[in-house]
Amino acid sequence: MIGNAEAQLIIKNGTYLVVQTGSTIIAMNGISATNGTIDNDGTIQNQGDLINNTTTLFASGSTGTFIFNGSSHQEITGDNDVGFYGTVEIDNANSVSITNTVTGSDQVIYG
């Protein structure tokens, strides 16, 4: 299954997004998370910025692939560490930067 988020993918208010094995989500204008969790066992293609204003965004059991594949510079920003689990790919010739707007903490990639 392929899902398209034509606008920014917004995860908030306790939302639990589950991406099952074999599924692909394409966030064309980025992802913004406040009080939500992503359980990713499929593929998420993020073509915009990733803003995390929640605790660790990814469920610790996630085994999927998260791909930064925008056509312009992308940022990982927000109040907290995203806590990537699974595989993270950077497929963006224009780069991806980490800019934590509040705490300045590092991003952590597990797996």
Give Cβ neighbours of residue 26 (< 8 Å, ≥ 6 apart).
2, 3, 4, 5, 44, 45, 47
Question: What pLDDT is recorded for position 37?
Answer: 95
Q: Tell me the domain boundaries of the chain.
A: 2-93
**pLDDT tens, 46-77?**
999 999 988 889 999 999 999 999 999 999 98
Output the CA angle 34-38-40, nearest 5 degrees: 160
Question: What pLDDT is recorded for position 103?
Answer: 62
Whether the predicted pLDDT of 81 surpasses 90: no
Residue 20, both tokens: 């099952």
User: What CA–CA distances, in Å, run from 25 to 21, 35, 41, 43, 64?
Assistant: 11, 20, 11, 6, 11
> What pTM was computed for the model?
0.86
